[in-house]
Amino acid sequence: MNLKQQLVEIRHYLHQHPERSGAEFQTTKFLKEQLIAKNIRLVPTTLKTGVIAEIGNPAKGPTIALRADIDALPIDEQTGLSYASVYSGTMHACGHDFHQTSLLGAAFLLKEKEEQLNGLVRLIFQPAEEGHFGAQQVIDAGHLEDVQAIIGYHNHPGLAPGKIGLRPAGIMAAVDQFEVTIHGVGTHAAAPHLGVDVLVTISGIIQNLQSIVARNSSPLNPSVVSVTHMTAGNTWNVLPDQGFFEGTLRSFSPASRELLNQRFVEIVEHTAATYGAKATIKMIPGPPVTFNDPQLTEWTIEASQEAGDVLHVEPSTAGEDFANFQQKIPGVFAFIGSNGEEGAPAWHHSDFIVKDEGLMTAVNYYVVNAENLLEKLSDNDSK
């Protein structure tokens, strides 16, 4: 069996057996077995799930890291694939089965040329990306302390297999979550003047929030304000005394992030006060901007020509906790084509499908960039 066939079988197995953030126990066990079978050394870790492994020798040069995420989502799969999830309500609807399989493949190839590597390659099979806490767990466990640079990617269903999308600076957005409770005064629907209407208040707030992107944020600097869920009341003839809404803010620079958060709070509080209501706001920070180091991106674009068809891509307003690694060390994050058909479902969809044809492009992306980074960083250190 050749490597591609082996990896297709591995991916299909992983796709059938998805595990959610922080609960990737069987996935961790499987990954360890695959690595041990190839005599790839495992690194002791305090992580409850996820795997850290190493190939190469740090005495010969720098240490770089390759990262793949391993968790799945709470989605009921509707693809009809022969290898669909066997677990109801859990699915690899973001392609992390594709990611971890490609890193395994890269590990197998790098192990074969271990003696030729100009340094050490650390393999990070990261848990809990979807929960936005896995990368920080890896950092807290000390697995980034001696690493000089890190490489990662996300599959992209809008790109055909064989395509590799790169760009310097921001490639994915900073993510913030908000939860807001509006406190009013309940009353009979026949006498609204005796209460403080939380439904009208929330409606006014949602309308006013649209002015942040329309009038406060520069049109040259992308940002998003989305209210995604609201609830208030439970019957037809009572105005409730409390309502709730939640959603997300997306931005591509620290200044934009600060502006969005500031204006959000001001608009919510002042609009609520206009209607005589009060607001309790909970802001939940997510990952920062996934920011590609310009020099590393230049090197990565150069090396990736050997792995696939490299193109310049527009940034995505989705978020990625790989950004937490980039807060500590320089890193590059790419998009690798996984479907490319018109109308292909996007990430987090119950019909989401990645194509096996893209696997070897992802494997080779890791391999050529690991070798190239070790060489480039060794040259820099010697100057």
Domain boundary assignment for the chain: 3-172+289-382, 179-285
- For the cut 70, the answer to whether the pLDDT of residue 126 exceeds it is yes
Give Dmax over CA atoms of the chain in angstroms.
81
Give the number of other CB atoms < 10 A from CB of residue 378.
Answer: 14
- The two three-digit tokens of residue 128, written as one number: 């809990």
Superfamily designation of domain 3-172+289-382: Zn peptidases (3.40.630.10)
Q: With bands split at pLDDT 50, 70 and 90, how would you rate the model's confidence at 1?
A: confident
The pLDDT of residue 18: 98
Over residues 43-56, mean pLDDT: 98
Per-residue burial over 231-247, b = 16 or more CB atoms within 10 Å of its CB, e = otherwise: ebeeeeeebbbbbebbb
The pLDDT of residue 255: 94
Please state, rounded to an integer, the average pLDDT across all residues of the chain: 97
Give the number of other CB atoms < 10 A from CB of residue 262.
Answer: 12
How far, in Å, CA of 152 to CA of 27, rounded?
A: 19
Over residues 327-349, mean pLDDT: 97
Contact between 71 and 21 under an 8 Å Cβ cutoff? The reply is yes
User: What tens digit of pLDDT does each residue of 261-318 get?
Assistant: 999 999 999 999 999 999 999 999 999 999 999 999 999 999 999 999 999 999 999 9
User: What tens digit of pLDDT does each residue of 153-211 get?
Assistant: 999 999 999 999 999 999 999 999 999 999 999 999 999 999 999 999 999 999 999 99
How far, in Å, CA of 278 to CA of 210, rounded?
A: 20
Cα angle value 207/253/22 (rounded, 5°): 85
Closest CA to 66 of 349, 341, 359, 325: 325
Over residues 222-229, mean pLDDT: 97
Closest CA to 100 of 19, 168, 161, 165: 19
- For the cut 60, the answer to whether the pLDDT of residue 137 exceeds it is yes
- For the cut 70, the answer to whether the pLDDT of residue 12 exceeds it is yes
Using DSSP's 3-state secondary structure scheme, residue 56 falls into strand
Give the number of other CB atoms < 10 A from CB of residue 215.
Answer: 8
Residue 196 phi/psi, 5° resolution?
-120, 115
Percentage with pLDDT > 90 across the chain: 97
The pLDDT of residue 191: 98
CATH number of the structural domain 179-285? 3.30.70.360
The pLDDT of residue 383: 57
The pLDDT of residue 379: 78
User: What tens digit of pLDDT does each residue of 87-98 get?
Assistant: 999 999 999 999
Q: With bands split at pLDDT 50, 70 and 90, how would you rate the model's confidence at 382?
A: low
- For the cut 90, the answer to whether the pLDDT of residue 22 exceeds it is yes
Contact between 118 and 103 under an 8 Å Cβ cutoff? The reply is no
User: What tens digit of pLDDT does each residue of 261-270 get?
Assistant: 999 999 999 9
